[in-house]
A and B are shown apart, each in its own frame.
Chain A
Amino acid sequence: DAKTTQPNSMESNEEEPVHLPCNHSTISGTDYIHWYRQLPSQGPEYVIHGLTSNVNNRMASLAIAEDRKSSTLILHRATLRDAAVYYCICCGQNFVFGPGTRLSVLP
């Protein structure tokens, strides 16, 4: 069973920021939080990961709550190419991919 909870779907307008939430209340001190996304007809691709501190890379930012029981993936300016299923993964030696959040980006 997935150890994370995400909304089933979200919508955003193009060029606006998107905040994708994830709850992982069973996280332990050594568990990383990973985000992947899956574009239509492709395999998942890595987006970002973090342990305790907020993280930034060229694709996104990851904001981790102080108690680490939740996190938010931030896409600073959504594009049509960002429409995908976003998976938040945590809390186990092997990855468990839940249903994720399906992000729709409206032009």
Chain B
Amino acid sequence: DAGITQSPRHKVTETGTPVTLRCHQTENHRYMYWYRQDPGHGLRLIHYSYGVKDTDKGEVSDGYSVSRSKTEDFLLTLESATSSQTSVYFCAISAGQLGTGGNEQFFGPGTRLTVL
């Protein structure tokens, strides 16, 4: 199994509070991704990173920010959590580009976030 951990694995918080989710990898992969998964929506890309300090927005980036200060860590921050951000969050990594690069993506175990 690829070395990807997510912390915390479960979190309950209140509306309006800041929340930071951490993704840590031991594979030295260049690309890291944050997805959210909700019933009926499959997985949706929030943000991704293509290197240290290089990030870009995904499909559902509003209300989220990310940071990547070193290769192994990718942080997802909800500046002011809302109930609509209740979801399961997955981190993923890949050695190179997806799509045209033919690279595999490896997923973490997920973080279940509940915003009351």
Q: Chain A interface (Cβ within 8 Å of chain B)?
A: 2, 30-32, 34, 36, 42-46, 49, 51, 87, 90-100
B59 touches which one: A90, A96, A99 (CB < 8 A)? Answer: A96
Residues of A close to B102: CB separation below 8 A: 32, 49, 51
Q: Would you give 7 A-B contacts (Cβ < 8 Å), ordered by A? A: A90-B99, A93-B99, A93-B100, A94-B99, A95-B43, A97-B35, A100-B42
Q: Which of under 10, 10 to 19, 20 to 34, or 35 or more describes the interface residues of B?
A: 20 to 34
Q: Looking at chain A's contact residues, is the secondary structure mostly helix, strand, loop, or mixed? A: loop
- B43 close to A97 (CB less than 8 A): yes
* Chain A nearest CB, measured from B89 CB (Å): 10
- A30 close to B105 (CB less than 8 A): no
- B42 close to A49 (CB less than 8 A): no
Q: Chain B interface (Cβ within 8 Å of chain A)?
A: 33, 35, 40-45, 48, 58-59, 90, 92, 97-102, 104-110
- A94 close to B58 (CB less than 8 A): yes
- B100 close to A36 (CB less than 8 A): no
B104 touches which one: A49, A87, A90, A91 (CB < 8 A)? Answer: A49
- B99 close to A95 (CB less than 8 A): yes
Distance of A93 Cα from B109 Cα, bound (Å): 23
Q: Which residue of A has the minimal Cβ distance to B35?
A: A97
- A94 close to B98 (CB less than 8 A): yes
Distance of A46 Cα from B109 Cα, bound (Å): 14
- Known A44-B43, A44-B90: A92·B99 in contact at CB below 8 Å: yes
Residues of B close to A87: CB separation below 8 A: 42-43
- A31 close to B99 (CB less than 8 A): yes
Residues of B close to A94: CB separation below 8 A: 33, 45, 48, 58, 98-99
Distance of A87 Cα from B92 Cα, bound (Å): 15
Distance of A87 Cα from B35 Cα, bound (Å): 15
